[in-house]
Chain A
Amino acid sequence: MSEAHTAGRRRGILLRRRWRPGRAWLSLPVTLYLLAGLIVPIILIALYSVHLLTNLIFPPAKFDLDTWKSFLPYLHEGTSVYFDRFKTSMAITLIVSTVAVIAAYPLAFYLAFVAHRRRYTLLLVLLAPFFVSYLLRVYAWTVMLSSDGTINSILVELGRAKGHPVEWLFHSKFAIGLVLAYSWIPFVALPIFVVLENLDKRILEAAQDLGANRFTTFMKVTFPLSLPGVIAAFVFVLIPTTGEFVAPSLVGGSNDSMFGNFIQDSFVSTTDWALGAVMAMWLMSIVVLLIVLSSRYLTADLRGPAR
């Protein structure tokens, strides 16, 4: 078997003496496509952000860091509304990611250690809502939360709201956080489940043989070993949420726009794209930076059991 294999290899090498395009060249279409659809657009945004490209007739296109300076408060005196909005959005994102991870961890733990043979069926049950359109899930919450919506009608029936709808339920930061966390919990449970499921159970048994109780085993062994899954989950939420603008505009209040809304606005409602370009570049740099910082864990993760 192995001899035949080597023989095939050798013959392959002999044939390759005559030059023929190898399989590797098949990556050319996708490379060109992504250069055109991803890299070139990002470069163009960068050019807009430093005024080397502009929509305006005046001032003419000329390298200029002014917009960057006015966006980043560290580069000038005073404050920047846009940067403040970035910080608020990052705070919302971090809270949402944390809540989603905390809420999803016990689900993953249940599937990996308690559910036994039913775990894949139950995993599918957990993931199924994720197959319903994101926009629809956000919309479903507007039906639940709005002042003439389902939750308020129940509260009125129960006499809790005394004829007045509960205001903070809808068009609020609470609503944004709730909807975003709701959307990501099933997805967050997945990488944590994968890691827990692949843990070498003998390590856990060893901890208990050495006298650790269940709680100590979890805190000192299971949880630290599951950190790659937790970090992967965290990043999975972070990427889409930082640029989010659908949930804020459907369930958020008029004052609750997130950074993504600001970016969208500066391209859709204004002709000067420089500020929008700066914000888009900034958002992307932060996200890519976070990915690079956590990439060690991301690649260690989905490769299966740690050996």
Chain B
Amino acid sequence: MSAAAGRIARGVLSGYFLLMVVFLYAPVVVLVIFSFNDNTTPTLPLAGFTTHWYHIALGNDLLLAAVKRSAAIAALNGVLATLLAILAAVALTAPRMFARPVVTALVMLPLVVPYVVLGVGMLVLLKTIGLEQSLSAVLFVHVVVSVPYGVLVILPRLQTLDPAIGEAARDLGAGEIAAFVRVTLPLIVPAILSSYLIAFTISFDEYAIASFLVPPGHDTFPIFLYSNARTPALRPQTVAIAGLVIAASLTLVVAAEIGRRAAERRLEGV
């Protein structure tokens, strides 16, 4: 009897899991379906297949300019945040460190401060030192919010490395920096890639902070998307843009996962 009850419980849980997966994917799938639908409203029944909305979306110069801006900010954000995160993570592995709890708390603090406060804070700072809103300001704050994720990815990887590896390199005559660059760094490449991708994604997707700091006429992609989303007349092409972004992000995720697995296979046994 207990075995039967267990089977039923497992069945219910599996059913629930399936249902939730459907719920989680439904809006995204519906969006993609209607991006190819030959109708201006996202209503059933479907009215026929068209790529018209994609042609309009891809011919939109404002969209392309916004994507370029966001891609540039995201790429730079990846580099800066990962560099700072590597330095911070290496520092935090030091055997003795002055004020370690304070530094750790400071590095993790951006995770708990609401984005609206960070955006407002930078706006106030710009005003106080007499600067205008700019894309550099957006980048500056994106680095702030990305660094903790980088440290959370890189630090555990550094901590699992055998300290004897670095010592061996130094015993063989490598200086502190050479030992790090030629021995430690290659071993943490997967973590560095993850950190870069996380930082890139955070920045590319970030609306709340950017909404305070983007200068007029220089929309980043999320800002562009948001203002389009509030204009019902633009819905068909906004849906098409959404379809493109969904395709791009899924490709990126799959590529990242394949790359990560490849890198890990290469490092296996080290």
Whether the pair B226, A38 counts as a contact (CB closer than 8 A) is: no
Chain A positions within 8 Å of B124 at CB level: 41, 44-45, 48, 53, 273, 277
B-facing residues in A6-51 (Cβ within 8 Å):
8, 22-27, 29-31, 33-35, 37-42, 44-45, 48
* B31–chain A nearest beta-carbon distance, Å: 5
- Determine the main DSSP class of B at the interface with A: helix
**Interface 0/1 of B85-118, CB less than 8 Å to A:** 1011011111011101001001101111111111
A135-B112 contact in complex given A30-B84, A110-B17, A144-B27, C-beta closer than 8 Å:
no
Chain B positions within 8 Å of A260 at CB level: 114, 116, 208
User: Does A148 touch B at the CB level, under 8 Å?
Assistant: yes
A30-B43 contact in complex given A42-B117, A240-B115, A267-B123, C-beta closer than 8 Å:
no
Q: When chains A and B are docked, how far (Å) is the Cα of A287 from the Cα of B115?
A: 12
A140-B28 contact in complex given A133-B245, A150-B43, A263-B116, C-beta closer than 8 Å:
yes
* B167–chain A nearest beta-carbon distance, Å: 5
Q: When chains A and B are docked, how far (Å) is the Cα of A180 from the Cα of B249?
A: 21
Q: How many residues of A contact B (CB 8 A)?
A: 90
Contact among A24, A34, A185 for B97, CB-based, below 8 A:
A24
User: Does A203 touch B at the CB level, under 8 Å?
Assistant: no
User: Does B5 touch A at the CB level, under 8 Å?
Assistant: yes
User: Does A106 touch B at the CB level, under 8 Å?
Assistant: yes
Tell me which of A79-87, A224-232, A241-249 binds B: A241-249
Contact among B20, B93, B118 for A38, CB-based, below 8 A:
B118
Given A150-B34, A273-B124, 6 more A-B residue pairs with CB atoms under 8 Å apart are: A26-B90, A27-B92, A41-B120, A42-B121, A106-B16, A107-B17
Contacts A/B (CB < 8 Å), 11 sampled: A5-B167, A22-B96, A26-B90, A42-B117, A110-B14, A129-B28, A132-B245, A137-B28, A139-B238, A153-B41, A264-B211
